[in-house]
Structure 1
Protein backbone atom coordinates (compact mmCIF):
# COMPACT_ATOMS: atom_id res chain seq x y z
CA UNK A 1 0.00 0.00 0.00
CA UNK A 2 1.41 3.41 -0.93
CA UNK A 3 2.19 5.97 1.76
CA UNK A 4 -0.34 8.42 0.26
CA UNK A 5 -3.10 5.84 0.28
CA UNK A 6 -2.22 4.72 3.81
CA UNK A 7 -2.23 8.34 5.02
CA UNK A 8 -5.66 8.98 3.51
CA UNK A 9 -7.22 5.92 5.14
CA UNK A 10 -9.72 7.11 7.75
CA UNK A 11 -8.92 6.43 11.38
CA UNK A 12 -11.09 3.86 13.02
CA UNK A 13 -13.45 5.62 15.42
CA UNK A 14 -13.74 3.60 18.61
CA UNK A 15 -14.66 5.90 21.50
CA UNK A 16 -15.47 2.93 23.77
CA UNK A 17 -12.11 1.23 23.23
CA UNK A 18 -10.63 1.98 26.68
CA UNK A 19 -13.71 0.57 28.44
CA UNK A 20 -13.70 -2.46 26.16
CA UNK A 21 -10.02 -3.06 26.90
CA UNK A 22 -10.77 -2.96 30.63
CA UNK A 23 -13.57 -5.53 30.20
CA UNK A 24 -11.34 -7.77 28.11
CA UNK A 25 -8.52 -7.38 30.64
CA UNK A 26 -10.82 -8.83 33.32
CA UNK A 27 -11.49 -11.83 31.06
CA UNK A 28 -7.76 -12.29 30.46
CA UNK A 29 -7.02 -12.00 34.20
CA UNK A 30 -9.73 -14.58 34.95
CA UNK A 31 -8.19 -16.96 32.39
CA UNK A 32 -4.45 -16.37 32.94
CA UNK A 33 -4.15 -14.64 36.33
CA UNK A 34 -2.40 -11.36 36.95
CA UNK A 35 1.01 -12.92 36.32
CA UNK A 36 -0.08 -14.15 32.90
CA UNK A 37 -1.81 -10.94 31.80
CA UNK A 38 0.10 -8.86 29.29
CA UNK A 39 -0.69 -5.96 27.00
CA UNK A 40 -0.21 -8.33 24.09
CA UNK A 41 -2.77 -10.86 25.38
CA UNK A 42 -5.35 -8.17 26.12
CA UNK A 43 -4.84 -6.50 22.73
CA UNK A 44 -5.19 -9.85 20.95
CA UNK A 45 -8.32 -10.78 22.92
CA UNK A 46 -9.84 -7.35 22.19
CA UNK A 47 -8.76 -7.52 18.53
CA UNK A 48 -7.03 -4.14 18.66
CA UNK A 49 -3.51 -3.07 17.73
CA UNK A 50 -0.96 -3.48 20.51
CA UNK A 51 -0.33 0.28 20.35
CA UNK A 52 -3.84 0.85 21.69
CA UNK A 53 -2.70 -0.53 25.01
CA UNK A 54 0.05 2.03 25.50
CA UNK A 55 -2.21 4.78 24.18
CA UNK A 56 -4.87 4.07 26.82
CA UNK A 57 -2.75 2.80 29.74
CA UNK A 58 0.56 4.03 31.13
CA UNK A 59 1.64 0.45 31.78
CA UNK A 60 0.40 -2.95 32.88
CA UNK A 61 -0.13 -1.72 36.46
CA UNK A 62 -2.39 1.04 35.15
CA UNK A 63 -4.40 -1.51 33.17
CA UNK A 64 -4.67 -3.88 36.15
CA UNK A 65 -5.74 -1.07 38.46
CA UNK A 66 -8.39 0.07 35.98
CA UNK A 67 -9.67 -3.49 35.54
CA UNK A 68 -9.85 -4.17 39.27
CA UNK A 69 -11.49 -0.80 39.85
CA UNK A 70 -14.21 -1.86 37.42
CA UNK A 71 -14.62 -5.20 39.22
CA UNK A 72 -14.87 -3.48 42.61
CA UNK A 73 -17.28 -0.85 41.31
CA UNK A 74 -19.55 -3.48 39.79
CA UNK A 75 -19.58 -5.50 43.02
CA UNK A 76 -20.22 -2.41 45.17
CA UNK A 77 -23.04 -1.37 42.82
CA UNK A 78 -24.53 -4.83 43.27
CA UNK A 79 -24.32 -4.50 47.06
CA UNK A 80 -26.06 -1.14 46.93
CA UNK A 81 -28.76 -2.39 44.57
CA UNK A 82 -29.49 -5.47 46.69
CA UNK A 83 -29.72 -3.51 49.92
CA UNK A 84 -31.44 -0.39 48.57
CA UNK A 85 -34.73 -2.20 48.06
CA UNK A 86 -34.68 -4.01 51.42
CA UNK A 87 -37.47 -2.71 53.64
CA UNK A 88 -36.83 -3.71 57.23
CA UNK A 89 -34.41 -6.02 58.99
CA UNK A 90 -35.83 -9.28 57.64
CA UNK A 91 -35.64 -8.04 54.05
CA UNK A 92 -32.09 -6.77 54.67
CA UNK A 93 -31.08 -10.18 56.07
CA UNK A 94 -32.51 -11.87 52.98
CA UNK A 95 -30.63 -9.40 50.77
CA UNK A 96 -27.40 -10.39 52.54
CA UNK A 97 -28.23 -14.08 52.01
CA UNK A 98 -28.80 -13.28 48.32
CA UNK A 99 -25.42 -11.57 48.08
CA UNK A 100 -23.74 -14.68 49.50
CA UNK A 101 -25.67 -17.26 47.47
CA UNK A 102 -25.98 -15.32 44.22
CA UNK A 103 -23.72 -14.83 41.24
CA UNK A 104 -22.51 -11.31 42.01
CA UNK A 105 -19.68 -12.53 44.24
CA UNK A 106 -19.91 -16.28 43.91
CA UNK A 107 -19.50 -17.01 40.22
CA UNK A 108 -16.29 -18.87 39.45
CA UNK A 109 -15.04 -15.97 37.30
CA UNK A 110 -15.68 -13.39 40.02
CA UNK A 111 -14.05 -15.54 42.67
CA UNK A 112 -10.95 -15.96 40.49
CA UNK A 113 -10.84 -12.23 39.85
CA UNK A 114 -11.34 -11.44 43.54
CA UNK A 115 -8.46 -13.72 44.55
CA UNK A 116 -6.24 -12.11 41.93
CA UNK A 117 -7.27 -8.68 43.20
CA UNK A 118 -6.52 -9.59 46.83
CA UNK A 119 -3.12 -11.04 45.95
CA UNK A 120 -2.14 -7.96 43.97
CA UNK A 121 -3.52 -5.59 46.63
CA UNK A 122 -1.42 -7.31 49.28
CA UNK A 123 1.68 -6.12 47.42
CA UNK A 124 0.53 -2.93 45.71
CA UNK A 125 -0.74 0.08 47.71
CA UNK A 126 -2.50 1.58 44.66
CA UNK A 127 -4.56 -1.56 44.24
CA UNK A 128 -5.11 -1.74 48.00
CA UNK A 129 -6.91 1.59 47.64
CA UNK A 130 -9.28 -0.15 45.22
CA UNK A 131 -10.12 -2.87 47.77
CA UNK A 132 -10.44 -0.29 50.54
CA UNK A 133 -12.93 1.76 48.49
CA UNK A 134 -14.88 -1.43 47.68
CA UNK A 135 -15.11 -2.40 51.37
CA UNK A 136 -16.15 1.14 52.32
CA UNK A 137 -18.99 1.16 49.78
CA UNK A 138 -20.13 -2.33 50.81
CA UNK A 139 -20.16 -1.38 54.48
CA UNK A 140 -21.99 1.87 53.77
CA UNK A 141 -24.71 -0.11 51.99
CA UNK A 142 -24.95 -2.50 54.94
CA UNK A 143 -24.98 0.34 57.48
CA UNK A 144 -28.34 1.52 56.13
CA UNK A 145 -29.76 -1.56 57.88
CA UNK A 146 -27.27 -2.65 60.54
CA UNK A 147 -25.10 -1.08 63.25
CA UNK A 148 -21.34 -0.67 62.55
CA UNK A 149 -20.09 -3.81 64.40
CA UNK A 150 -22.75 -5.97 62.72
CA UNK A 151 -21.84 -4.41 59.38
CA UNK A 152 -18.18 -5.43 59.80
CA UNK A 153 -19.17 -8.99 60.70
CA UNK A 154 -21.64 -9.27 57.82
CA UNK A 155 -19.14 -7.86 55.33
CA UNK A 156 -16.58 -10.50 56.36
CA UNK A 157 -19.23 -13.24 56.29
CA UNK A 158 -20.36 -12.22 52.81
CA UNK A 159 -16.85 -12.36 51.38
CA UNK A 160 -15.81 -15.50 53.23
CA UNK A 161 -18.90 -17.58 52.55
CA UNK A 162 -19.08 -16.43 48.93
CA UNK A 163 -15.55 -17.68 48.38
CA UNK A 164 -16.13 -20.90 50.32
CA UNK A 165 -19.31 -21.63 48.36
CA UNK A 166 -17.63 -20.98 45.02
CA UNK A 167 -14.63 -23.20 45.76
CA UNK A 168 -16.21 -26.01 47.76
CA UNK A 169 -17.08 -29.31 46.12
CA UNK A 170 -20.09 -29.39 48.44
CA UNK A 171 -21.09 -25.72 48.92
CA UNK A 172 -22.61 -24.51 52.17
CA UNK A 173 -26.39 -24.92 51.86
CA UNK A 174 -28.53 -21.79 51.63
CA UNK A 175 -30.23 -22.72 54.93
CA UNK A 176 -26.86 -22.63 56.74
CA UNK A 177 -26.03 -19.28 55.10
CA UNK A 178 -29.42 -17.91 56.20
CA UNK A 179 -28.81 -19.19 59.76
CA UNK A 180 -25.33 -17.60 59.90
CA UNK A 181 -26.72 -14.22 58.83
CA UNK A 182 -29.55 -14.53 61.35
CA UNK A 183 -27.12 -15.35 64.16
CA UNK A 184 -24.93 -12.34 63.43
CA UNK A 185 -27.86 -9.95 63.10
CA UNK A 186 -29.64 -11.36 66.18
CA UNK A 187 -26.54 -11.24 68.36
CA UNK A 188 -26.00 -7.53 67.77
Structure 2
Protein backbone atom coordinates (compact mmCIF):
# COMPACT_ATOMS: atom_id res chain seq x y z
CA UNK A 1 0.00 0.00 0.00
CA UNK A 2 1.41 3.41 -0.96
CA UNK A 3 1.79 6.02 1.72
CA UNK A 4 -0.55 8.98 1.19
CA UNK A 5 1.15 12.39 1.00
CA UNK A 6 -0.84 14.66 3.29
CA UNK A 7 1.22 17.63 4.53
CA UNK A 8 -1.78 19.30 6.19
CA UNK A 9 -2.74 16.23 8.20
CA UNK A 10 -1.35 17.47 11.52
CA UNK A 11 -3.17 20.82 11.17
CA UNK A 12 -6.37 19.03 10.17
CA UNK A 13 -6.13 16.88 13.29
CA UNK A 14 -5.71 19.97 15.50
CA UNK A 15 -8.70 21.67 13.86
CA UNK A 16 -10.77 18.49 14.19
CA UNK A 17 -9.80 18.25 17.85
CA UNK A 18 -11.26 21.73 18.44
CA UNK A 19 -14.45 20.69 16.64
CA UNK A 20 -14.77 17.55 18.77
CA UNK A 21 -14.17 19.53 21.97
CA UNK A 22 -16.81 22.09 20.93
CA UNK A 23 -19.27 19.26 20.30
CA UNK A 24 -18.44 16.81 23.11
CA UNK A 25 -16.24 18.63 25.61
CA UNK A 26 -12.75 17.62 26.68
CA UNK A 27 -14.16 14.61 28.52
CA UNK A 28 -15.78 13.36 25.31
CA UNK A 29 -12.70 13.88 23.16
CA UNK A 30 -10.74 10.77 22.21
CA UNK A 31 -8.14 9.82 19.63
CA UNK A 32 -10.76 7.78 17.82
CA UNK A 33 -13.28 10.66 17.64
CA UNK A 34 -10.67 13.18 16.50
CA UNK A 35 -9.29 10.80 13.86
CA UNK A 36 -12.79 10.24 12.49
CA UNK A 37 -13.51 13.99 12.45
CA UNK A 38 -10.19 14.69 10.70
CA UNK A 39 -10.73 11.78 8.28
CA UNK A 40 -7.35 10.28 9.09
CA UNK A 41 -6.30 6.78 10.16
CA UNK A 42 -6.26 6.27 13.92
CA UNK A 43 -2.51 5.60 13.75
CA UNK A 44 -1.96 9.20 12.61
CA UNK A 45 -2.88 10.35 16.07
CA UNK A 46 0.09 8.72 17.77
CA UNK A 47 2.36 9.53 14.84
CA UNK A 48 1.72 13.27 15.18
CA UNK A 49 1.08 13.58 18.94
CA UNK A 50 2.66 11.83 21.92
CA UNK A 51 -0.70 11.64 23.64
CA UNK A 52 -4.01 13.37 24.27
CA UNK A 53 -2.41 16.04 26.49
CA UNK A 54 -0.12 17.14 23.68
CA UNK A 55 -3.01 17.25 21.21
CA UNK A 56 -5.16 19.26 23.65
CA UNK A 57 -2.30 21.69 24.32
CA UNK A 58 -1.74 22.21 20.60
CA UNK A 59 -5.46 22.66 19.91
CA UNK A 60 -6.10 25.07 22.77
CA UNK A 61 -2.94 27.03 21.97
CA UNK A 62 -4.15 27.46 18.39
CA UNK A 63 -7.59 28.57 19.60
CA UNK A 64 -6.17 31.07 22.11
CA UNK A 65 -3.82 32.49 19.48
CA UNK A 66 -6.69 32.99 17.02
CA UNK A 67 -8.73 34.90 19.61
CA UNK A 68 -5.67 36.90 20.68
CA UNK A 69 -4.91 37.81 17.08
CA UNK A 70 -8.41 39.28 16.68
CA UNK A 71 -8.04 41.15 19.95
CA UNK A 72 -4.65 42.58 18.97
CA UNK A 73 -5.87 43.53 15.50
CA UNK A 74 -8.76 45.50 17.00
CA UNK A 75 -6.50 47.40 19.40
CA UNK A 76 -3.75 48.00 16.80
CA UNK A 77 -5.98 50.18 14.65
CA UNK A 78 -6.95 52.54 17.45
CA UNK A 79 -5.55 56.07 17.08
CA UNK A 80 -6.35 57.61 20.48
CA UNK A 81 -7.86 57.13 23.96
CA UNK A 82 -11.46 57.60 22.80
CA UNK A 83 -10.88 55.08 20.03
CA UNK A 84 -9.39 52.69 22.58
CA UNK A 85 -12.50 53.00 24.73
CA UNK A 86 -14.73 52.29 21.71
CA UNK A 87 -12.53 49.34 20.76
CA UNK A 88 -12.80 47.93 24.30
CA UNK A 89 -16.60 48.11 24.04
CA UNK A 90 -16.53 46.44 20.61
CA UNK A 91 -14.27 43.68 21.94
CA UNK A 92 -16.84 42.91 24.63
CA UNK A 93 -19.99 43.32 22.56
CA UNK A 94 -18.85 42.00 19.17
CA UNK A 95 -15.42 40.38 18.93
CA UNK A 96 -14.81 38.08 21.87
CA UNK A 97 -16.58 34.72 21.81
CA UNK A 98 -18.48 35.44 18.61
CA UNK A 99 -20.45 32.20 18.70
CA UNK A 100 -21.42 29.22 20.81
CA UNK A 101 -18.42 27.22 19.59
CA UNK A 102 -15.96 29.82 20.89
CA UNK A 103 -17.85 30.04 24.19
CA UNK A 104 -17.67 26.27 24.69
CA UNK A 105 -13.99 26.07 23.71
CA UNK A 106 -13.12 28.91 26.08
CA UNK A 107 -14.98 27.35 29.00
CA UNK A 108 -13.48 23.93 28.30
CA UNK A 109 -9.98 25.48 28.29
CA UNK A 110 -10.65 27.39 31.51
CA UNK A 111 -11.98 24.26 33.23
CA UNK A 112 -9.01 22.22 32.09
CA UNK A 113 -6.58 24.95 33.19
CA UNK A 114 -8.27 25.12 36.59
CA UNK A 115 -7.68 21.39 37.07
CA UNK A 116 -4.39 20.94 35.23
CA UNK A 117 -1.67 23.52 35.94
CA UNK A 118 0.16 22.63 32.70
CA UNK A 119 -2.70 24.19 30.73
CA UNK A 120 -2.45 27.47 32.65
CA UNK A 121 0.49 28.45 30.47
CA UNK A 122 -2.01 28.73 27.61
CA UNK A 123 -4.49 30.86 29.56
CA UNK A 124 -1.69 32.99 31.05
CA UNK A 125 -0.22 33.64 27.60
CA UNK A 126 -3.69 34.52 26.31
CA UNK A 127 -4.30 37.00 29.15
CA UNK A 128 -0.80 38.47 28.76
CA UNK A 129 -1.40 39.13 25.05
CA UNK A 130 -4.77 40.73 25.78
CA UNK A 131 -3.29 43.00 28.42
CA UNK A 132 -0.33 43.91 26.20
CA UNK A 133 -2.74 44.95 23.44
CA UNK A 134 -4.69 47.07 25.92
CA UNK A 135 -1.48 48.56 27.35
CA UNK A 136 -0.90 50.29 24.02
CA UNK A 137 -3.53 52.75 25.24
CA UNK A 138 -4.00 52.19 28.99
CA UNK A 139 -1.77 51.83 32.04
CA UNK A 140 -1.16 48.22 33.24
CA UNK A 141 -3.77 48.27 36.02
CA UNK A 142 -6.45 49.70 33.74
CA UNK A 143 -5.52 47.13 31.08
CA UNK A 144 -5.90 44.32 33.64
CA UNK A 145 -9.28 45.65 34.77
CA UNK A 146 -10.50 46.00 31.17
CA UNK A 147 -9.35 42.47 30.39
CA UNK A 148 -11.26 41.15 33.41
CA UNK A 149 -14.32 43.16 32.38
CA UNK A 150 -14.06 41.70 28.89
CA UNK A 151 -13.87 38.14 30.24
CA UNK A 152 -16.71 38.62 32.71
CA UNK A 153 -19.15 40.55 30.53
CA UNK A 154 -18.49 38.32 27.54
CA UNK A 155 -19.35 35.30 29.64
CA UNK A 156 -22.48 37.01 30.97
CA UNK A 157 -23.50 37.97 27.42
CA UNK A 158 -23.03 34.41 26.23
CA UNK A 159 -24.83 32.66 29.09
CA UNK A 160 -27.50 35.11 30.23
CA UNK A 161 -31.08 34.64 29.09
CA UNK A 162 -31.68 38.40 29.02
CA UNK A 163 -30.29 40.60 26.25
CA UNK A 164 -27.46 42.89 27.26
CA UNK A 165 -27.45 46.63 26.88
CA UNK A 166 -24.42 48.01 25.05
CA UNK A 167 -24.88 51.27 26.96
CA UNK A 168 -24.03 49.43 30.19
CA UNK A 169 -20.78 48.20 28.62
CA UNK A 170 -19.96 51.73 27.44
CA UNK A 171 -20.53 52.99 31.00
CA UNK A 172 -18.40 50.23 32.54
CA UNK A 173 -15.50 50.95 30.19
CA UNK A 174 -15.84 54.69 30.86
CA UNK A 175 -15.73 54.13 34.64
CA UNK A 176 -12.67 51.89 34.46
CA UNK A 177 -10.78 54.19 32.10
CA UNK A 178 -11.70 57.45 33.83
CA UNK A 179 -8.59 59.24 35.09
CA UNK A 180 -8.08 58.95 38.83
CA UNK A 181 -8.83 62.15 40.75
CA UNK A 182 -5.81 64.03 42.02
CA UNK A 183 -4.82 63.19 45.61
CA UNK A 184 -6.39 65.40 48.25
CA UNK A 185 -4.07 67.29 50.59
CA UNK A 186 -4.79 66.61 54.23
TM-score range, shorter chain: over 0.9
Instruction: Check whether the contact 2:131–2:147 (CA below 8 A) recurs between aligned residues.
Output: yes
TM-score, normalised by the number of residues in structure 2 = 0.93
Cα deviation for residue 104 of structure 1 reads: 3.5
Unaligned residue ranges in structure 1 (runs of 5+): 1-5
Aligned to 2:7: 15
- After superposition, the C-alpha distances for 1:74-98 in whole angstroms (9 at most, x for unaligned) are 1111111000000101111111111
Is structure 2 residue 157 aligned with structure 1 residue 165? Answer: yes
Instruction: Check whether the contact 1:100–1:106 (CA below 8 A) recurs between aligned residues.
Output: no
From 104, 118, 136, the equivalent of 2:110 is 118
Cα deviation for residue 172 of structure 1 reads: 1.7
State the distance in 2 between where 1:30 and 1:187 align.
Answer: 41
TM-score, normalised by the number of residues in structure 1 = 0.92
Unaligned residue ranges in structure 2 (runs of 5+): 181-186
RMSD across aligned C-alpha pairs, in angstroms?
1.1
State the distance in 2 between where 1:103 and 1:153 align.
Answer: 18
From 78, 83, 88, the equivalent of 1:91 is 83
From 100, 124, 130, the equivalent of 1:108 is 100
Select the structure that is richer in helix. Answer: 1
Is structure 2 residue 123 aligned with structure 1 residue 134? Answer: no
Aligned to 1:53: 45
Instruction: Check whether the contact 1:26–1:113 (CA below 8 A) recurs between aligned residues.
Output: yes
Alignment coverage as a number of residue pairs:
180
